[in-house]
Homo-oligomer: A and B are copies of this chain.
């Protein structure tokens, strides 16, 4: 007997797999072009890709050009909005902390990823080191972070919060 009930769960999973495979294909293409590490990403809104990319750190000499950042930038440009609150991000590998931050600032609520941070670490990428750094208190991190001149900068932030025409974000 044919199954006639609409199976929403399976549809959603098939759709997720479809877009995630697009991200995985981009990861392979970027690696083959020598653009950067083997990472790919697509941003989807209403069932359509609105931004995509692969890692371009080497090709563009840009340490921030991770696949997720590239795809988010393009999606925001295409949508004319830095907020992508109705989008899902599909990435070939669990995002690093920089990319998680970018996802947060873009207000993307949902991420589907394939390979894990452990897979990335095994391939020589130190996402895992970065996750450990972020878990440490500031004074124990390898990055030196030094405060200075707070009294000269804090008033500018206060001025911002009082601007009548400011766009909150």
Interface residues of A in 71-105 (CB under 8 A from B): 72-73, 76-77, 79-84, 92-94, 96-105
CB neighbours of A93 from chain B (8 A): 153, 157
Interface size on A, as a range, is 35 or more
CB <8 Å contact, A123 and B160: yes
CA distance A8 to B62 in the complex (A): 34
CB <8 Å contact, A98 and B109: no
A1 within 8 A of B: no
CB <8 Å contact, B97 and A101: yes
A49 within 8 A of B: no
Q: Which of B66, B72, B112, B153 has a CB less than 8 Å from the CB of A115?
A: B153
CB <8 Å contact, B16 and A143: no
CB <8 Å contact, B123 and A24: no
CB <8 Å contact, B24 and A112: no
Within the complex, what minimum Cβ distance (angstroms) separates A105 from chain B? 4
Nearest CB in chain B to that of A56: its residue = B82
A4 within 8 A of B: no
A53 within 8 A of B: no
A21 within 8 A of B: yes
Interface 1/0 per residue, A15-29 and B, CB below 8 Å: 011001100100110
A-B pairs, 8 with minimum CB distance = A98-B101, A114-B153, A115-B153, A123-B157, A63-B106, A123-B161, A63-B82, A63-B105
Q: 17 A-B residue contacts at CB 8 Å?
A: A27-B153, A34-B165, A58-B167, A61-B81, A93-B157, A97-B97, A97-B101, A97-B134, A98-B101, A101-B101, A103-B143, A108-B143, A111-B146, A112-B146, A114-B148, A114-B154, A119-B153
